[in-house]
């Protein structure tokens, strides 16, 4: 979607990147880095005993405007390491991505074993006004493909909200979609990944859209509250040497 159009139609505190030409090149570069990381995993560059947590998302997950080390998936890896859990995080966030875009990337991503999928997509679809049912079908298809390839995979659904100008009914249906997906798929739910960040000026970059490094720390806390029990349920702390 054209950024000017977004700026005019969406209140700054709730904007999410939908992808402009200039920013797409940054997203592609970061995506190449992520692909390289996944490939290295497949070649045995990391400890084979570590399970994989894949974060599939848009600019929020990609850490737009920041170093990858400042994005919330990297902060989640730090928490995992602190608790000595045997998981490795892969950041498959791509700025401007949509539910359809994420679905298109699944065949590649599923080439490597995934134990936990954190699904953070749909926000850009919503800002474009796509029918909620279309978004739901795409997200469900992502979950279905992951489960078909790895039946024991754990799913975490990251919820998002729409700004008031999208209309009350649409906003309610959009928000409820994430809870319904989580319930249908026996998945864990992060009610609103941007809780205490969206709409808080000091927690976002000057563009009013993307979280600052401090904002990502809060996002990481929102995610960790839900993700940590999932990880602990399938793993135990790494034995100290």
Comparing CA positions, the residue from 83, 38, 45 lying closest to residue 235 is: 83
Residue 20 lies in a domain: yes
Give residues with Cβ within 8 angstroms of 3, minimum separation 6.
18, 20
Instruction: Flag whether the pTM goes above 0.85.
Output: no
pLDDT in tens, 92-119: 999 999 999 999 999 999 999 999 999 9
156 lies in some domain: yes
Active-site entry in 99, 125, 210, 216: 210
Measured in residues, the chain has a length of: 241
Determine the average pLDDT of the residues in 70-85: 97
Pairing, β 116-120 against β 154-158: parallel
Give which of 55, 9, 65 is closest to 156, Cα–Cα: 55
- The answer to the question of residue 180 being in a domain is yes
Tens of pLDDT, residues 204-220:
999 888 999 999 999 99
Residues 58, 59, 115, 171: which is the catalytic one? 59
- The pLDDT tens digits for 6-40 are 333 334 334 434 443 334 444 555 555 455 444 44
Residue 120 contacts residue 56 (beta carbons within 8 Å): yes
Q: Does 119 fall in a domain?
A: yes
Domain with 95 in it: 3-233
Q: What is the pLDDT of residue 153?
A: 98
The answer to whether residue 207 is catalytic is: yes
Is residue 210 flagged as an active site residue? yes
Q: Is residue 240 part of a domain?
A: no
CB under 8 Å to 114, separation ≥6 — which residues? 52, 53, 54, 146, 149, 150, 153
Query: What is the pLDDT confidence band of residue 235, given thresholds at 50, 70 and 90?
Result: confident
In this structure, is residue 83 part of a structural domain? yes
Considering the domain boundaries, does residue 94 fall inside one?
Answer: yes
Structurally, the chain folds into a number of domains equal to 1
What confidence category does residue 183 fall into, taking pLDDT thresholds of 50, 70 and 90? very high
Q: What is the CATH number of the domain that holds 163?
A: 3.40.50.1110
241 within some domain: no
């Amino acid at each position: 979607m054209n950024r000017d159009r977004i700026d005019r139609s969406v209140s700054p505190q709730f904007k999410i990147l939908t992808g402009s030409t200039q920013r797409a090149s940054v997203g592609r570069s970061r995506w190449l880095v992520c692909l390289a990381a996944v490939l290295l995993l497949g070649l045995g560059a990391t400890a084979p005993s570590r399970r994989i947590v894949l974060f599939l998302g848009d600019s929020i997950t990609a850490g737009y405007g920041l170093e990858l080390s400042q994005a919330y998936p990297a902060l989640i890896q730090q928490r995992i390491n602190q608790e000595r859990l045997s998981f490795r995080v892969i950041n498959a966030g791509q700025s401007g991505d949509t539910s359809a875009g994420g679905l298109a990337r699944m065949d590649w991503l599923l080439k490597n074993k995934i134990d936990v999928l954190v699904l953070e997509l749909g926000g850009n679809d919503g800002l474009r006004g796509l029918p909620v049912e279309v978004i739901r079908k795409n997200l469900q298809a992502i979950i279905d493909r992951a489960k078909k390839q790895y039946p024991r995979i754990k799913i975490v659904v990251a919820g998002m909200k729409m700004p008031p100008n999208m209309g009350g009914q649409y906003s309610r249906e959009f928000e409820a979609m994430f809870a319904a997906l989580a319930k249908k798929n026996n998945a864990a739910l992060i009610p609103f990944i941007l809780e205490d960040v969206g709409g808080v000026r000091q927690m976002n970059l000057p563009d009013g859209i993307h979280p600052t490094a401090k904002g990502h720390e809060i996002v990481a806390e929102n995610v960790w509250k839900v993700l940590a029990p999932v990880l602990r349920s399938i793993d135990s702390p790494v034995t100290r040497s």
